[in-house]
Amino acid sequence: MTDLVVRGGTVVTSTSLGLADIAVTEGRISAVGANLDLDAGQEIDASGLHVFPGGIDSHVHFNEPGRTEWETIANGSAALAAGGYTTFIDMPLNNLPVTIDGAALDLKLKAAERSSLIDFGFWGGLVSGNLARLAELHARGALGFKAFMCPSGIDEFPACDEGTLREGMKQIAELDSILLVHAEAPERLHAPSGTSWMDFVLSRPPEAEWTAISQAVGIAVETGCRLHVVHVSTPHGFEMIRKAQADGADVSGETCPHYLLYADSDLERLGGIGKCAPPLRSVEFRDGLWRKLVEGQVPMVVSDHSPSTLDLKHGNDFSAIWGGISGCQTTRQLLLAREELDLQLIAGLTSINVARRFRLKGKGDITAGFDADLWIVDLGHKDVVRREDLLYRNPFSAHEGQPIRGRTVRTLVRGKTVFASGQAQPGSAGRLTSLTI
Ligand SMILES: [Zn+2]
């Protein structure tokens, strides 16, 4: 018995694009094909619309529990659903307690089960002092681990020294898990010499990223650990990763819309709302990163949604302003607005490539056997990012005013509509995502 058929949409995956019907049975895709001859309990007419696999944002900070005045799982997951996303993976900070042991993961799991509109997973933390906790985090379902090579900005989540990084990677390799690193080498960072945005940018030079990638790759090769570099901000960072892959290392990288769309000089206009680490880079690096994206040399684009209250983004001393960009709702729509980017490439960057790299079971594709996570979108619709449309707990973003394309007609998680007609549907439909193995 088929529960649902989505009829007549242009189905976009990383490997195909064409008119097709999608049949859904018990939350999974049971058939995909032209003019499916099936009776279903429910039909959705998608003619004139595109249907993408639900997006997967593997880099968000939803801050729950502990800092829900900055963001909540309810708000963050609704924002993602509004932008065509059906799964998120939450970082082990800036929630409190930070997710560095099993008890903290349990708290976050309960919070997500209570209020997430979409499916979810969690990264555990690797910090100096919690090596004995990695196995319990893994056993409770952590999809992998996150470490900082420099101070994180959160005292409760200290940086990894080299010894911890090496021992952590050894353990993570034994667990057949993956380590995500924030790659900025502390010895290449220095205190800002003044209070301007430019002083801040100069205090975190691109060489810090390159040194850290080189160190992390070296330890990954030595320990046999799978490694993923978060928010790569320079084209050379991706070149280093490709070179390491060619040499046999199991390493990958991601970038974020802000490094593709803005340069450091945009901080004059954006002020503290555009502060993040690594910082926005030169026009040359921004354009070089964009070229790599268009050429298919960047495997994934994720938001690094790292919100706070608006007052923390203002002030006369740029170095004292909270660092982090709010943006998870609009990643896909921002990419779609740049029409030189192929639709299939965007599908890959925001769904299957993420699912494959992180081994997410049944996620990221529109094919029989996968979860019926679907984004039905009107690509004829063009607009700009507007504050009043943002569903964050604190609705502001560095992306306000940027062109976007695609109005969300409906977002489905495992066959259930979670967002339609401009509204998040009430309730908590999400559940914990598991690994393929
Ligand atoms: Zn982050």
pLDDT of the residue at 426: 85
Phi-psi region of 113 (alpha: psi -120 to 50; beta: other; left: phi over 0): alpha
**Do 411 and 419 touch, CB atoms closer than 8 A?**
yes
**pLDDT band with cut points at 50, 70 and 90 for residue 436:** confident
Quote the ligand 1 centre to 104 CA distance (angstroms).
18
Quote the ligand 1 centre to 59 CA distance (angstroms).
6
Quote the ligand 1 centre to 154 CA distance (angstroms).
12
pLDDT of the residue at 429: 83
Prediction pTM value: 0.98
pLDDT of the residue at 99: 98
pLDDT digits (tens, 9 = 90+) for 340-377: 999 999 999 999 999 999 999 999 999 999 999 999 99
Mean pLDDT of the chain: 97
Quote the ligand 1 centre to 44 CA distance (angstroms).
36
Q: Indicate whether 301 pLDDT > 70.
A: yes
pLDDT of the residue at 334: 98
Quote the ligand 1 centre to 146 CA distance (angstroms).
10
pLDDT digits (tens, 9 = 90+) for 30-54: 999 999 999 999 999 999 999 999 9
Q: Indicate whether 437 pLDDT > 80.
A: no
Q: Which one-letter DSSP state was computed for residue 352? A: I
d(CA 145, CA 134): 8
Range list of β-strands (E), 65-214:
85-90, 119-125, 144-148, 178-182
Quote the ligand 1 centre to 412 CA distance (angstroms).
26
Quote the ligand 1 centre to 251 CA distance (angstroms).
18
Quote the ligand 1 centre to 139 CA distance (angstroms).
23
Quote the ligand 1 centre to 66 CA distance (angstroms).
17
pLDDT of the residue at 296: 94
Quote the ligand 1 centre to 243 CA distance (angstroms).
25
Q: How far is CA 169 from the centre of its chain?
A: 22
Q: How many residues make up the chain in this entry?
A: 437
Farthest-apart Cα atoms in the chain, separation = 69
Q: Indicate whether 92 pLDDT > 70.
A: yes
- Terminal Cα distance for the chain, rounded: 29
Adjacent-strand bridge partners of 158:
none
Q: Indicate whether 428 pLDDT > 80.
A: no
Using DSSP's 3-state secondary structure scheme, residue 3 falls into: strand
**pLDDT band with cut points at 50, 70 and 90 for residue 316:** very high
d(CA 253, CA 335): 18
Where is 232: in which H helix or E strand? none
Quote the ligand 1 centre to 253 CA distance (angstroms).
13
Q: Which of 271, 274, 287, 227 is nearest to 253 (CA)?
A: 227
Quote the ligand 1 centre to 301 CA distance (angstroms).
13
pLDDT of the residue at 42: 96
Q: Which one-letter DSSP state was computed for residue 401? A: T
Quote the ligand 1 centre to 4 CA distance (angstroms).
37
Quote the ligand 1 centre to 341 CA distance (angstroms).
25
Quote the ligand 1 centre to 92 CA distance (angstroms).
9
Quote the ligand 1 centre to 403 CA distance (angstroms).
24
Q: Which of 22, 6, 47 is nearest to 367 (CA)?
A: 22
Q: Indicate whether 103 pLDDT > 70.
A: yes
Quote the ligand 1 centre to 218 CA distance (angstroms).
23
pLDDT of the residue at 251: 98
Range list of β-strands (E), 126-221:
144-148, 178-182
